[in-house]
Structure 1
């Protein structure tokens, strides 16, 4: 943290969305960005080299759930683990992979055959997620899904990314670590902070460790995912704690 405080103009601040800037809710479409996050990010962005949201969600969905984020100067959203990018009001992305809609089309029949009608599907465009949070037995449903979803993903050239009571089918070859590493190189960062809450953020933690820069990893605390807390430099209490930490940083920059 010392390097970021001494040289904020060289710092990149990377942030996950769900569970980090937005509280986890049973229905992913009902998520809402923390009310203070857009203003805090706008203030922070005036001091640091860049602020980036690195998420598995499409950028358009992030902006739908947090429309005020559009007004954060210089914000970059690296969505779909870096496959899509929102910046300056525009989204750029390669064509979507064919395997995702094919796998999505087969999922209802697969879920029905497993007797798991109470799980929820989330269409992310370039990925499809199967959430068990609303199931009568979330952990049992997750365990029952792992093997058949892995087989379905392999059939269509996809991989399975585990998360907090969710399994996501997506293309291989990209994760939050790749996305963050590429962004750090692009911006010639001199230090980095990344905050996340889920298993998919471990790759970003690894990117911070291997970047060759002073780096800080922050866990947006969860009783459901202990691996991140074990590997984090700082553990805070969910999105409220993340926003408070970012406010403290901004205040420190303003005093220096």
Structure 2
């Protein structure tokens, strides 16, 4: 047995698992197919109920090494659980079913290595065949362009990225980025935020993300993510009201941004600008509900629309979608299939 493990690693985590201990940290490596079951074992058998972080590194010639740092609290014991996925098939089952707080870590880790490998090829295949393709995101437009590699793909000449829920705009045709001035109320609210968090008890593990045209308070790393979210929602709502801003709840995140800015407004304005005759919108978070409302409105005005939900982690979104697919890879496959169908029809 290794370190504080009560049994050999392959007994606890299955065949091909192996463990080592160094500098007080117990590390267990498992095959990718055993990832979520190993996380479950760490939590239920070893008592590692605190999810600290998840990340990955690119190991040349090997694959992506994914690591999750877990902690047992009584007594305090640390476990680094690792697995490797190959470069040619960089897919791993989500840890969210075991640790709800893993969602943000998985998304941020994914973004370090860019979009799903099939996403840009699918968009590049579709873009020349339709009036326009737009990416509407809550992130800064320049970050979305960089992470997506959109500026380096010549077939995406019709692509527009609407960042900060439409407040920012980047057009592939010109490469120009348009950013509005930051509203004074946002700067005042940002300055007041530390005191608001302190008055609300400053739940351990929460952290703030500054997006320039908005800022967000995340509770995914908190000891009690849902409890911290509930405790902060009221005080942050009062903060936004004092400064004439808007509070947008997400999955264990509360975002503060200027009023009148959301994905629905951005979508309606873009459809009107491009005179689109049909719309397909795909989303995966609570912030996409406004765009779903916009598609419903467009349908009522005679513009056909299709609502696609990537994953089923947000029931408010999945229940309204016309089509629910397992994840980004399947969204890319759908777009590629649409492109092929259009190409054959012409």
Same-fold call, TM > 0.5? yes
Seen in structure 2, the aligned counterparts of structure 1 residues 69 and 38 have a Cα distance that, compared at 3 Å, is farther
Deviation at 1:240, TM superposition (A): 1.6
Deviation at 1:120, TM superposition (A): 2.0
Seen in structure 2, the aligned counterparts of structure 1 residues 115 and 24 have a Cα distance that, compared at 3 Å, is closer
Structure 1: unaligned runs, 5 residues or longer: 1-22
Residue 123 of structure 1: aligned partner: 210
Aligned match of 1:243 in 329, 332, 344? Answer: 332
Q: Taking structure 2 as the reference length, what is the TM-score of the superposition?
A: 0.64
Seen in structure 2, the aligned counterparts of structure 1 residues 68 and 183 have a Cα distance that, compared at 3 Å, is closer
Seen in structure 2, the aligned counterparts of structure 1 residues 102 and 117 have a Cα distance that, compared at 3 Å, is farther
Task: Select the structure with the greater relative contact order (CA < 8 A; seq sep ≥ 6).
Answer: 1
Q: Give the Cα separation in 2 of the matches to 1:255 and 1:108.
A: 57
Deviation at 1:181, TM superposition (A): 0.7
Q: Give the Cα separation in 1 of the matches to 2:103 and 2:282.
A: 15
- How many residues are aligned here? 233
Deviation at 1:65, TM superposition (A): 2.2
Residue 74 of structure 1: aligned partner: 158
1:49 pairs with 2:131: yes
RMSD of aligned C-alpha atoms? 1.9
- 1:1-256 maps to which residues of 2 (within 5 A)? 25-26=104-105, 30=109, 31=111, 32-68=114-150, 70-71=152-153, 72-87=156-171, 88-113=174-199, 114-211=201-298, 212=301, 213-223=303-313, 225-256=314-345
What do the CA deviations read for 1:164-223 (whole angstroms, capped 9, x no partner)?
Answer: 111100111121111111111111111110011112211111111211201100111232
What do the CA deviations read for 1:141-179 (whole angstroms, capped 9, x no partner)?
Answer: 111110010011112211100111111001111211111
Q: Give the Cα separation in 2 of the matches to 1:222 and 1:137.
A: 22
Q: Give the Cα separation in 2 of the matches to 1:102 and 1:196.
A: 31
Structure with greater helix share of residues: 1
Instruction: Find the structure with the greater CA-based Rg.
Output: 2
Whether the 8 Å CA contact 2:204–2:223 is kept in 1: the answer is no
Deviation at 1:29, TM superposition (A): 5.2
